[in-house]
Structure 1
Amino acid sequence: MEIVIAECAVREFERFPRDLQILFLSHFEKIQSLPPRRHLKYGIPFHVEKVTRQARIIYDIRENTLYVLHCFEDHKDYEQWYNSYR
């Protein structure tokens, strides 16, 4: 499965400390091997993967391609993004 990372996700990812980046990379591999589990509510057409207690990956899988849309280090940033859809 191919991984495509959006520009905003790359910028978010680059700001993370190195140890958190390694965790995110391992979760990208995990998502590739396992089917998506948690779908977002309120008609948001994406999936979410919990990386740490607060960190999240927002992604979508279409036609054998993993699209990483956002990488959130902090639950506060994730909630702000999530509530913008409500």
Structure 2
Amino acid sequence: MKQVGYIIRHLKIKNGKEYEYFYLRRSDRFKTSGESKEKRTYLYSFGNRKKALAQLDSWENDLGIIPKELTELGYSLEDVKKWKQEIESK
């Protein structure tokens, strides 16, 4: 099964401070009445950059602690490494 989903970065500004959060999201496109629509589904919330990278590091070292909802979707160590690189580059 091919996994779908990609890392997105969400910026939130509150009281002049900028906060960034990372999510794993899937987008499905479909047509209704001739219109093309997109349904966005958030699969997992990683939190802020520091928390996300720490979490991915721990998953990389021990695959047994990857959340069940992600393993059921077919994600593996290769995906964890890819997500880590994506977060580091954003």
Normalised by the shorter chain, which TM-score bucket? Answer: 0.3 to 0.5
TM-score, normalising length: structure 1: 0.34
Larger relative strand fraction: 2
Which structure would you say has the larger Rg? 2
TM-score, normalising length: structure 2: 0.33
Relative contact order: is structure 1 or structure 2 higher (C-alpha 8 Å, sep ≥ 6)? 1
